[in-house]
Chains A and B, each alone.
Chain A
Amino acid sequence: MRAAALLLAAFAAAAFAQEAKRPSPLKPGPEFQSPDVRALQADDFANPGMLWVARGGELWRAPGANGKRCADCHGVDAVSMKGVSARHPRHDPSLGRLTDLSGRIDACRTRYQGGPALARESPDALALEAFVAHQSRGLPVKVSTEGPARAAFERGRALYFTRVGQLNLACTHCHDERWGRTLLAESISQGHATGWPAYRLEWQSLGSLHRRLRACFFGVRAQQPAAGSEDLLALELYLAGRAGGLAVEVPGVRR
Chain B
Amino acid sequence: MAIARLQVPSTVRAGEAVEVRVLVQHPMETGFRREADGRAVPMNVVHSLVCRLGAVEILRAEFGTGVSANPYLAFWIVPPASGELVVEWVDDAGAKGRVAAPIAVS
By a beta-carbon cutoff of 8 Å, the part of chain A in contact with chain B is: 45-46, 48, 50-52, 54-55, 58, 204-205
A-B contact pairs, 16 of them (CB 8 A): A46-B21, A46-B72, A48-B25, A48-B69, A50-B5, A50-B23, A51-B3, A51-B23, A51-B70, A54-B3, A54-B5, A55-B3, A55-B25, A204-B28, A204-B70, A205-B27
> Which A residues are in CB contact (< 8 Å) with B68?
204
B7 at the interface (CB under 8 A from A): yes
By a beta-carbon cutoff of 8 Å, the part of chain B in contact with chain A is: 3-5, 7, 21, 23, 25, 27-28, 68-70, 72
> Which B residues are in CB contact (< 8 Å) with A45?
5, 7, 21, 23
Which applies to chain A's interface (DSSP): helix, strand, loop or mixed? Answer: helix
Whether B7 contacts A205 by the Cβ 8 Å rule is: no
CB distance from B89 to the nearest CB of A (A): 14
CB distance from B74 to the nearest CB of A (A): 8
> Which B residues are in CB contact (< 8 Å) with A50?
5, 23
- CA distance in complex: A54, B70 (Å): 14
- CA distance in complex: A156, B15 (Å): 60
> Which A residues are in CB contact (< 8 Å) with B4?
51
- CA distance in complex: A8, B28 (Å): 59
Whether B27 contacts A48 by the Cβ 8 Å rule is: no
> Which A residues are in CB contact (< 8 Å) with B3?
51-52, 54-55, 58
- CA distance in complex: A48, B4 (Å): 10
**Which B residue's beta carbon lies closest to that of A201?**
B68
> Which B residues are in CB contact (< 8 Å) with A52?
3
The 9 closest A-B pairs by CB, nearest first: A204-B69, A51-B25, A48-B70, A55-B3, A51-B3, A45-B7, A54-B3, A45-B21, A46-B72
Q: Which of A51, A58, A204, A205 contacts B5 (CB 8 A)?
A: A51
- CA distance in complex: A54, B23 (Å): 12
**Which B residue's beta carbon lies closest to that of A53?**
B3
> Which A residues are in CB contact (< 8 Å) with B27?
204-205
Q: Taking each of A48, A52, A54, A205, which has the highest tally of chain B beta carbons within 10 Å of its own beta carbon?
A: A48
CB distance from A98 to the nearest CB of B (A): 32
> Which B residues are in CB contact (< 8 Å) with A55?
3, 25
- CA distance in complex: A199, B87 (Å): 24
Q: Taking each of A51, A54, A58, A205, which has the highest tally of chain B beta carbons within 10 Å of its own beta carbon?
A: A51
- CA distance in complex: A190, B25 (Å): 31
- CA distance in complex: A177, B28 (Å): 39
- CA distance in complex: A58, B70 (Å): 18
**Which B residue's beta carbon lies closest to that of A127?**
B3
Whether A205 contacts B23 by the Cβ 8 Å rule is: no
**Which B residue's beta carbon lies closest to that of A56?**
B3
CB distance from B20 to the nearest CB of A (A): 11
